[in-house]
Amino acid sequence: MGSVVSLVRSVWALSYAVHSALVLALIGVAIKGPPTKNQRANLVLSLFNNQMAELPLTVILLNACFYVWLTITGTARESAIVRFFNYINVISTIGLLYLFKRSFEAKESADKFLIQLSKEGKKHVELPGPNSPAFWKQALNPIPFPQDYTKYDSIPYWSLQEQRSAMNSDGWKSVLEMALDVYKPNSVQGGDDRPVFIHIHGGGWTQGSKSWPGPILTELISRKWVVVSIDYRLSAKAGYPTQLIDCKRALRWVKDEIRIFGGDPNNVIVGGNSSGGHMAALLALTPNLPEYQPGFEDVDTTVQGCVPQSAALDLTDMNNYGHHDGKGRFIKDVAHREGSPMSPENINFMKEHSPIFKLKDAKVPFLVVHGDLDLISPVQTARDFVKEFQSKSEASVSYLEIPDAHHAFEVYSSPRSWYTIMAVAEWLEFHFDKKQTGGKNKVQVHELVEWEY
């Protein structure tokens, strides 16, 4: 029996050593890690980088719980390995606290952004600091769901003909992916004509879910916005641009039905992160193009604004900012196209679906949000996009670059993401929230009607 206990303690000690060494290494990468030449490796690193950079206190708590368990089992007292790696964890804790402190530097970027916005006519807003209990309650909640709202879950946005087509080509599962969630503040009633924010989730066009839009949901619900989070088909046999076409189908539904939930169909802003930010930008840049609206070519698919975050804005990456073969994955795994990613046909296809090459069609305001440590969608692409936008379009473009932020950092709840989201919300409110009160023709909220194109 004693040998079994000793073996178990040895396993626990070794696990603690591996865990402690791995956490220390990941902290180093999160502080400033260069991209690798392997896109999958960059994806994994981005996931862990965000765990360290956006949730450092959670990691500290997990480390402490692990050590408490080793103490309870007697492993901490008897194992020299555990005692040694306690010193490693002290170093890790210092590193994690440094990452936590660094997340507050986003406040400076957000403050500068809001000062610039105030010069354009927006009333200046002071962002809360570390002395604000409300801010800590918000920033330290790992899953900050909004309050005083109603969620209408998994509403289908397909027509019957589209349902049959999806079932015949990709099966019933794909039909279930063609759905959206509506989040309505309880104080908003049908006919209130509140601004609408459509959120498109990321996940490399082949993964992800509408179920968690991130902290932006909580912030916009508190400002009485109607939020729509959409799913799209992730594994259609035809490949991309099926995902983009599905997003336009969801927009069609919003235009037809959102007034029932208190939203204004003529005041719709679209946003998203990563691949969702890519499709949000294309939605704003390709309104009413028949090739992306099969069967509903006559439907108006214009939006009033766009907020791409950590977005893939240039699929060609001809400057090799990414240092990895993202083009190959997009062409083969996402678009399901034949041939070399560098063939003229495939390069032209990627240009056709890169927002940076469609800016002559930009007619609505953009706010581009990007982290400067993004390993998946390099920040230089966002900078180039903004410069191109300014030179080719008369529409306004704003840029918010967040220091020390990794890819899709905005979906986590942290001081960095909350400062970013508050700045985004102020921009949205300034440009799109008319706050009309009284005198509106209100309609009773009712069951959705069946419709078909």
417 class by beta-carbon count within 10 Å (0-12 exposed, 13-18 middle, 19+ buried)? buried
DSSP state of 386: H
Place of tokens 């992306």: 292
Candidates 317, 407, 414, 431; catalytic one: 407
- 205 by DSSP, 3-state: which? coil
CA distance 233 to 243: 6
Candidates 46, 374, 377, 404; catalytic one: 374
CA distance 291 to 293: 6
Find the helix or strand (DSSP H, E) in which 304 lies: none
Determine if the peptide bond prior to 355 is cis (ω within 30°). no
374 is catalytic: yes
Residue 423 — φ and ψ, nearest 5°?
A: -65, -40
**Beta strands 226-230 and 305-309: pairing type?**
unpaired
CA distance 117 to 121: 7
Which amino acid belongs to residue 204? Answer: G
264 is catalytic: no
DSSP state of 414: S
77 class by beta-carbon count within 10 Å (0-12 exposed, 13-18 middle, 19+ buried)? exposed
Q: How far apart are the first and last CA of the chain?
A: 72
Side-chain half-sphere exposure of 331, counting CA atoms within 13 A: 22
Q: Tally Cβ neighbours within 10 Å of residue 403.
A: 14
CA distance 326 to 315: 8
DSSP state of 307: E
Q: Tally Cβ neighbours within 10 Å of residue 276.
A: 32
What is the full DSSP assignment across 216-249? HHHHHHHTT-EEEEE---SS-TT-TTHHHHHHHH
Candidates 46, 92, 229, 274; catalytic one: 274
Q: Tally Cβ neighbours within 10 Å of residue 388.
A: 20
CA distance 395 to 434: 19
Closest CA relative to residue 195, chosen from 231, 150, 157, 227:
227
Contact 147, 137 (CB under 8 A): no
Q: And the tokens for 223?
A: 């400002």
- Catalytic residue numbers? 274, 374, 407
